A and B are shown apart, each in its own frame.
Chain A
Amino acid sequence: GAGVSQSPRYKVAKRGQDVALRCDPISGHVSLFWYQQALGQGPEFLTYFQNEAQLDKSGLPSDRFFAERPEGSVSTLKIQRTQQEDSAVYLCASEDQETQYFGPGTRLLVL
């Protein structure tokens, strides 16, 4: 079946712009995670949903970052007033029986 999909795959934003990143999890997966991966580093946890409930947002780096999953399926990660330090790959993963499956990621470059 289809894996996790993310869009856009690449995004260039000017500093101060708002961006929205979309994640379509594997159908039926209840748990969804967002991670941020800087160049040369492992992914770092941002936030976690179980169905539509955001159960852990401890990894969000600032209040400029906001995530939602209103119907328990598609999720959107929004970054307001982007800064250069937000440049990274944003990975979405959905989980089945302890295993997390990653999407291709969105590569964000803030100029």
Chain B
Amino acid sequence: QKEVEQNSGPLSVPEGAIASLNCTYSDRGSQSFFWYRQYSGKSPELIMSIYSNGDKEDGRFTAQLNKASQYVSLLIRDSQPSDSATYLCAVKGTGRRALTFGSGTRLQVQP
């Protein structure tokens, strides 16, 4: 079992729809969770961080964390073609400073 798992996609949604990206992790002691966006040929760019159970909203983005289920998700409202990218879930495991990444979910927003 991989430490951080994501569906590789592609996830295709029409413009204006809500995109829902999911991630599960294996280290129950993990405390810090991040969503990065990576355009093709570019480096990862931080979108959201979340540290406690519940929802965290920033503009069109909402991160959701459920530590009991070891599950973190990212919702993108009013999806735009410019949101088309790979979304990487990253977790800081127990006692670790480094990030453990999932393999990413490719999102395609259709105009």
Contact = CB atoms under 8 A, between A and B. Distances in A.
B43 A33 contact: no
B43 A104 contact: yes
A55 B45 contact: no
Main secondary structure of the interface of B (DSSP, over half): strand
Nearest to A101: B46
Interface size class of A (residues with CB under 8 A): 20 to 34
A98 B32 contact: yes
A2 B71 CA distance: 34
Contact of A59 (B49, B98, B104): B98
Given A42-B88, A45-B98, A55-B97, A102 B103 contact: no
Nearest to B97: A48
Interface residues of B, number: 22
Nearest to B89: A42
B60 interface: no
Contact of B98 (A42, A56, A101, A103): A56
A48 B90 CA distance: 16
B98 A99 contact: no
Given A42-B102, A99-B46, A102-B36, 14 more contacts: A33-B98, A41-B104, A42-B101, A42-B103, A42-B104, A43-B101, A45-B98, A56-B96, A91-B44, A95-B97, A100-B46, A100-B99, A102-B44, A102-B45
Contacts, number: 51
A40 interface: yes
B100 interface: yes
Interface of A: 31, 33, 35, 40-45, 48, 55-56, 59, 91, 95, 98-105
Interface of B: 4, 32, 34, 36, 42-46, 49, 88, 90, 92, 96-104
A45 B98 CA distance: 7
Contacts of A43: 44, 88, 99, 101
30 contacts: A33-B99, A35-B99, A40-B103, A41-B104, A42-B88, A42-B90, A42-B102, A42-B104, A43-B88, A43-B99, A43-B101, A45-B99, A48-B97, A56-B96, A59-B98, A91-B44, A95-B97, A98-B32, A99-B34, A99-B46, A99-B49, A100-B46, A100-B99, A101-B46, A102-B36, A102-B44, A102-B45, A103-B43, A104-B42, A105-B43
